[in-house]
Amino acid sequence: MTKAQAKRPATLATRLRGKRVLVCVGAGGVGKTTTSAALALGLALRGQKVAVVTIDPAKRLATALGLQELSGEPSRIDPQAFAAAGVEVKGELWAMMLDAKRTFDEIVARLAPDERAREEILANPVYRELSTAVAGSHELSAIAKLYELYEEHDFDVIVLDTPPSRNALDFLDAPNRLLGFLHGRALQVFLAPGGLTARLFGRGTALVFAIFARVTGVDMLSELSRFFRSLSGVIEGFGERTAGVAELLRSPDTTFLIVTSPEAEPAREASYLKQRLGEAGMSPGELIVNRVHRDGLQGHSVEEVTEMLTDGLGRALASRVAGNLADFDVLMRRDEETIAELSGAREGQHPILVPHLDEDVQDLLSLARIAEYLFA
Ligand SMILES: Nc1ncnc2c1ncn2[C@@H]1O[C@H](COP(=O)(O)OP(=O)(O)O)[C@@H](O)[C@H]1O
Ligand SMILES: [Mg+2]
């Protein structure tokens, strides 16, 4: 056990007692999806009925969670799957995944005939407004789902993974932004029968879409309007619910867990997130530093370790291995510095540390290992 952990007043399980909604936020790629699943598993191990809403899980993780398809409803992970992995779950773990559809920017990047057409489309104001709204719609469906699970099901705890937003907190504003957009003029015009778009936005805009359609064969305008029509299902009723959602996100039942890796950039984002959550009246409950490097040489020198390994590995290999372990120590020291900074900024409240595992975390057993660290 590290010093930081020894000083911790209570385990995560204790600190999360009474919380019904856990939202994992953080920069892209730091381990939000992994942490969400491991948190949910850890709580289920302790006897709770838990639902985890994941967004774009890696394929193998989705399979491990029994998520072959997007059903729109959580399904229970077969207790036999846990038994097979040697993991004993006292409660229930339910999981579902949301489809974080590709953003239109990606579609444009893929389909645009050349750099110039691409830049032109991306810079187009109407396009910009539409694509922001589309991105917002993933976030909206995540939050709408959370609210529905909270209101209509009897889960003890719901864990929500969040989409890889450019700004991790955008998704909290997304419902309002999207509703504003849908009720605004742009969409009305957009969904209006042909011709009107051109008249209202000027020929430039219509031309962009027309050229785009001719060159790529993708009729962006009808794609988009089909998309917005299909969205109306999610939107319906969400307007009246936004107050309830806003309340839920700020309620004492809900806590945000900020996930970061020990790299400088995500750590900076984590500090910024904490501040923004506070300003928005939400509770940044815990900070989780994932993928922390562990001691490689364990206090020995490179020479000593080479010496120790030489009998088994031969001189050349032993020295390579020792070199690798020394690299780990460099990363470990970098991690320690970042963690110290993060702890300092949190007035001595120590973050929860999860080590960088040698394997990718994509099955129940390795999730259980992560859970062990989270709840240590
Ligand atoms: N502690 C860890 N040790 C090793 N690999 C990890 C760890 N946490 C996450 N990973 C791996 O890192 C990758 C990204 O994690 P993921 O949870 O999908 O990040 P995010 O959801 O924040 O984008 C995945 O392949 C996952 O298996
Ligand atoms: Mg993810």
The ligand 1 atom nearest the CA atom of 359: 4
User: Would you say the CB of residue 165 lies under 6 angstroms from ligand 1?
Assistant: no
In a domain, 96, yes or no: yes
Tens of pLDDT, residue by residue over 248-285, are: 888 999 999 999 999 999 999 898 888 888 888 888 88
Nearest-CA residue for atom 17 of ligand 1: 31
Ligand nearest the Cα atom of residue 31: 1
In a domain, 314, yes or no: no
**Highest-scoring range by mean pLDDT, 11-20, 167-176, 199-208:** 11-20
Tens of pLDDT, residue by residue over 40-77, are: 999 999 999 999 998 878 888 888 888 877 667 899 99
Structure tokens at 355: 């080590």
Report the percent of the chain where pLDDT is more than 70.
65
In a domain, 97, yes or no: yes
In a domain, 315, yes or no: no
In a domain, 67, yes or no: yes
In a domain, 308, yes or no: no
In a domain, 224, yes or no: yes
- Tell me, in angstroms, the distance from the centre of ligand 2 to residue 163's CA: 6
The residue whose CB lies within 8 Å of the most ligand 1 atoms, and thus the one to mutate among 30, 34, 97, 369, is: 34
Q: What's the pLDDT at 6?
A: 47
User: Would you say the CB of residue 354 lies under 6 angstroms from ligand 1?
Assistant: yes
In a domain, 108, yes or no: yes
User: Which CATH number belongs to the domain containing residue 368 in this structure?
Assistant: 3.40.50.300
The ligand 1 atom nearest the CA atom of 354: 1
- Tell me, in angstroms, the distance from the centre of ligand 2 to residue 251's CA: 25
Say what the pTM is. Answer: 0.78
- Tell me, in angstroms, the distance from the centre of ligand 1 to residue 298's CA: 25
Tens of pLDDT, residue by residue over 88-115, are: 999 999 999 876 554 456 656 665 667 7
Domain that residue 14 falls in: 3-301+321-374
Tens of pLDDT, residue by residue over 26-36, are: 988 899 999 99
- Tell me, in angstroms, the distance from the centre of ligand 2 to residue 203's CA: 40
Domain count, the chain: 1
